[in-house]
Amino acid sequence: MNSRSTAALLLTCTAFASLAGCGGAPDPTEDELRAPRALELTAGDAVARAQLWVNAQVPYCQSPNGKPDADPACASVCTRPVNPDWDPYRSDCSGFVSWAWGLAAPGHSTDQFAPAKTDITAVIDGNSLQPGDALNIPGDHMIFFVAWITAGSHATFMEEPGCSASPNYAHEFSSAVVINGSSVTVAYEGKTFTAIRYQGLSASADAGTSTSPDAGTSCVVRTTNTPGVCISTSACQALGDHTSTPGYCPGAANIECCTPIPCPDSSHCAASTPVCDSSTGGCRACNADGECATGVCALAPADPKHGQCVQCVSDDQCPFMSYCNVSSDRCAACTAGNPACPSSLNDAGVQISDAGAQVSDAGAQVSDAGSPDEDAGSPHEDAGTGSEDAGTQLHPGTAGGCASGGGDLALFGILVGFLFRFRRRAERV
């Protein structure tokens, strides 16, 4: 292959990599190649390092700070708050995990981690995920595992999501998960990842590492009978709303029983874990509508707010002439022509409008009945008939549950008509 063909091939590969989302890592510069090698870290250190970016809301970039960014969804040059420790790293999804794990800048790409490549990471069973692990889709996206909320079904993660995402910076989220071996489907992401573990985390000082015999060991604080998990004090602190208690875990001195901070009632719980569990004294995700002080519990596994108390999950839980906005799980007003509004509500709304017009016509005829003409009863009779017609007009709209509201308007017109007729007859007597 001649030099021109080689150059063309390299350009093609580089262009392809830039389209791979988080998976496309640009080639390192000479300065980046001279960056320090991987640090000696514990799982607790990794969680704490990831938390630094989340706290600072480091913006997403597919390049180091101040360098050209090949991602068309981002600015042409990566611009982030200056930090000498972070500046050499890409702040994309794999750069974020690389920083957390203490890998050399600018960071590995998703296709340099398991299952695509297994030199420093290994595929693990999803049920064995521990603080400091990750979920990966080579060439697409990866997220950092923080902790279980409910072991095997609901967890907390951190990620750099993308320039076009909202939010578009490092953040933490909780989500329902479905596990099948090493495959983990994350409802919040709408994707299925592979569970992986970085083999370079130190086994000597932290739970959650690949070789520690005490990794993720269950524990119970006997004074409060609160169950927890044995992890480092720094990893527990990074979780938030948790506390470490010494004397209940084997291993290194900094491995303590990490438990949720007791909650007096559900009003003290966060939106992601809205239920204060009296059996554990900690906050957890909801499992039924009755556990929510207001609204309903989002139970669908694919719902990004799974396990949270929301205003609605279906249209029939919303007030008259409104619908459930699936993106926010909140009720929104139903207006004519709104494509998100069920057609049955739009149709019913048109019929209610027609019925209201007929009731108004009936009221006008009732007003005209103030004439002393002995035949004044006739318009009232017509008004009543008009109102009855308005009520009849509503029958086709029963499908959205809206006919009852229109029927009330029609009934009001009928009653007004009869009242005026009764009054005129009483005056003649």
Q: Going by C-beta distance under 8 Å and a sequence separation of 6 or more, which residues neighbour residue 364?
A: none
pLDDT value at position 55?
A: 84
Judge whether 205 and 254 are in contact, CB under 8 Å: yes
3-state DSSP assignment of residue 230: strand
3-state DSSP helix/strand/coil percent for the chain, to nearest 5? Answer: 35, 20, 45
Q: Which two tokens mark 367?
A: 């007003």
3-state DSSP assignment of residue 331: strand
- Angstrom distance (rounded) from CA 8 to CA 122: 34
Res 259 pLDDT > 50: yes
Pick from 144-153, 166-175, 199-208: least confident: 199-208
Res 294 pLDDT > 70: yes
E strands present in 138-199? 141-150, 154-159, 171-180, 183-186, 191-198
Res 185 pLDDT > 80: yes
Q: Residues, the chain, total?
A: 429
Res 196 pLDDT > 50: yes
Q: Going by C-beta distance under 8 Å and a sequence separation of 6 or more, which residues neighbour residue 374?
A: 428
Judge whether 283 and 263 are in contact, CB under 8 Å: yes
Greater confidence (303 vs 181) lies with: 181
Greater confidence (287 vs 230) lies with: 287
pLDDT value at position 220?
A: 80
pTM of the model as a whole: 0.49
Res 383 pLDDT > 50: no
Domain boundaries, the chain: 14-198, 343-428
Reported as type and span, the H/E element at residue 428 is helix 403-428
pLDDT value at position 334?
A: 80
